[in-house]
Structure 1
Amino acid sequence: MSRYLVDKFLYTVDRDPDLVERYRAEPRGTVLWWEAERANSVLNCHGGEASTWLRFTDDEREALATHDHVALFALGAHPFLTLTLFIAMFERDHGPLEYQKAFGARLAHFSMPYPDIAT
């Protein structure tokens, strides 16, 4: 499980409006492209530094590719990173706070202790 990589994906996509739209329109392709092209770049580094070993698990890749925030939460993705990105993608399709309430309701079956979100 690579919570760091999932959180890095959520963080970097959320901060680029073009990537937000790309992820909304073509989630699976965006996840595969990001994993191949961006996953191993050093976060917030503009130079040529990169690692070579970071990869999503099959479960992480599938949850990201299907916009499954419940599965992402169960896998340990940080809920605030997931929520802010998903608000950017889907809030426009709903009334005021409607999306946020539905997002929370889909997580209501989780009880404490919640999945570990430490990276």
Structure 2
Amino acid sequence: MSKYLLNKFLYTVDRDPELVERYREDPVDTVTWWEQEKANEILNCAVAEKSTWLAFTDDERKALREQDHVALFGLGAHPFLTLTLFIAMFERDHDPLEYQKAYGRVLRQHYALPYPEIAT
């Protein structure tokens, strides 16, 4: 599993309003496109530089396509990255702070357990 790639997806999508909307409306196509076109671009690189080895695991791909923040957390995605992206996608569908509270409630089950390492 590549926590780096998982977090890179969340980070890059969250910072582009058009990608946020694309991911909200069509997560399957967005994840497939991003993995094929963007996954192997080096972040913050002055010259066009690419790698060829990064790919999501089946579990990561499934969690991203289903927009399942609990599964993403269990796979090692940083909770701040999932929270900020999912707020951008779903907060508008809820009353103020309602989404954030629901996000915390469903992750509460992980607080008492040894949770995944989230250091980046």
**Same fold, TM-score > 0.5, yes or no:** yes
Aligned to 1:107: 107
Aligned residues: 119
Corresponding residue of 1:15? 15
Distance in 2 (alpha carbons) for counterparts of 1:88 and 1:5: 20
Partner SS, residue 109 of structure 1: helix
- Counterparts of 2:56 and 2:6, CA distance in 1: 7
* RMSD of aligned Cα (Å): 0.9
Corresponding residue of 1:65: 65
Counterparts of residues 28-67 of structure 1 (less than 5 Å): 28-67=28-67
1-structure distance, mates of 2:9, 2:45: 15
For 2:62 and 2:45, the matched residues in 1 are separated by 27
Where does 1:79-98 land on structure 2 (aligned, <5 Å)? 79-98=79-98
C-alpha separation between the residues in 1 aligned to 2:44 and 2:26?
Answer: 24
Q: Deviations over 1:78-101 (max 9, x none)?
A: 000000000000000000100000
Report deviation, 1:22.
0.1
Q: TM-score, normalised by structure 2?
A: 0.96
How high is the TM-score relative to the length of structure 1?
Answer: 0.96
Letter matched to residue 37 of structure 1:
E
Separation in structure 2 between the aligned mates of residue 83 and residue 101 of structure 1, nearest angstrom: 11
Question: How far did residue 46 of structure 1 move?
Answer: 4.7
Instruction: Name the CA distance, whole Å, in 1 between partners of 2:103 and 2:9.
Output: 19
What is the CA deviation profile of residues 39-58 of structure 1, one whole-angstrom value per residue up to 9, with x for unaligned ones? Answer: 00001225220100000000
For 1:36 and 1:46, locate their aligned partners in 2 and report how far apart those are by CA, in whole Å. Answer: 21
Correspondence for 1:75 = 75
**Residue type of the partner of 2:109?**
H
